[in-house]
Amino acid sequence: MLRFGSLVVSPFIAFAASVGLTQDAGAASTSRAMAVTAGEYHTCALTKAGTVACWGINNNGQLGDGTDNSTVAPVAVQGLTGVVAIVAGHYHTCALTKSGRVKCWGANNHGQIGDDSTTDRLTPTDVSGLGSGVLAIGAGEYHTCAVTAAGAAMCWGQNQNGQLGNGTLDDSHLPGQVTGLSSGIAAIAGGVNHTCAVTSAGQVKCWGDNSNGQLGNGTRTNERSPRPVLVRGIRGATAVATGQQHSCAIAGGRVKCWGFDSDGQLGDGGNTEQDSPVATRALGTDVAAIDAGLWHNCALLADGRVKCWGFNSDGQIGNGTGFGNNAHTPVLVKTIRGATAIATGSRHGCAIIKAGNLRCWGQNDGQIGDGTTVERDTPVDVTGF
């Protein structure tokens, strides 16, 4: 989303004045970006030094700097070292440390921080009940999930559509196991009101809201499923990404998507929603990573190029065609070559270039991180990276 997005596996993203990254935060002079995550109106980067910096809107403390002051350039997240993965939800952010612990901060109105409260947190807070055995994390709009060392899927936060997968529709302020997924899970991703996971056998299972076929099981008869269902026709999956009402997976280097398709977010050239996966065009067989925004997606190709497709209200496709020109098949993001990681927020995107430089594009209430609030339909450098 929103970091409604792709899997994150260990190890592996009114305004205050622009604030540069300090040396203690792992500034560009000593550290470069190695991972990036994007939320609704904020972005965070993991540096090679294991620290985290965030920027954008901060009304719930999602930047983690101890304040609720928004910023148009990166600020250091307080008290975080040894981080190996990061994910962003709507207004919250989480980090996975090399010791296998999960810390979250920001909005907590549905218990998405996982500390058995609904109190917003301005700095990183330990998720209760997970210990030190977490291998991967994912974040949806108002919920969060983790994969344990045993391969179990655990989720917490909002659950009105069954996105926690525990067989109920009740919110949970603490992590709970997803029904039937006590082992064999490799990665997990949270959408707005649904969640998907990749199994070690290369299948994809999804749960939660299914009003537009985003669970991919060939039916919309039941508009939600509080327990996992098998996505049809996906074998050998290595990654999954979840948007507002659609999902995508990489299998055999190819991308397939399913669910809502109002703005071309399935990438098959049309705008007809699908309750089973369909092939996304113009990507070939060398897709290395994928991430999903609300109504758009971006894919990282093995050669370091990035392609995006879907809704383009704010330039989030990044191809320089202005604002409002949707793409029903993937198009190249301009000026991005040699990318090593990508992230998509609600209406913006980011990519890390090989040297650790970070560029973002799209909607800009500060989440682009270039010191302005000017929307960009092509990538610009993030300050300090």
> Is residue 2 assigned to a domain?
no
Query: Residue 257 falls within a domain, yes or no?
Result: yes
Confirm whether 142 is domain-assigned. Answer: yes
What is the tens place of the pLDDT at every residue in 357-370?
999 999 999 999 99
Q: Residues 110, 137, 268, CA angle at the centre, nearest 5°?
A: 95
Q: Which of the 8 DSSP states describes residue 195?
A: E
Give the domain extent around 370: 8-381
Q: How far is CA 318 from CA 215, 295, 301, 335, 349, in A?
A: 28, 14, 15, 9, 8
Mean pLDDT of 315-321: 97
Tell me the Cα Rg of the chain.
18
Q: Which H/E stretch holds residue 344?
A: strand 339-344
Query: Which amino acid, residue 149?
Result: A
pLDDT band at 17 (very low <50, low <70, confident <90, very high): very low
Q: Quick check: helix, strand or coil at residue 52?
A: strand
Residue bearing tokens 């440390």: 97
In a domain? residue 243: yes
More confident residue, 223 or 287: 287
Find the mean pLDDT for residues 71-82.
97
102 found inside a domain:
yes
Per-residue pLDDT tens for 331-351? 999 999 999 999 999 999 999
pLDDT of residue 292: 98
pLDDT in tens, 177-223: 999 999 999 999 999 999 999 999 999 999 999 999 999 999 886 78
At 355 the pLDDT is: 81
The rounded mean pLDDT for the chain is 92
Banded model confidence at residue 5, pLDDT cuts 50, 70, 90:
very low
Residue 233 belongs to some domain of the structure: yes
CATH of the domain at 38: 2.130.10.30
Domain count, the chain: 1
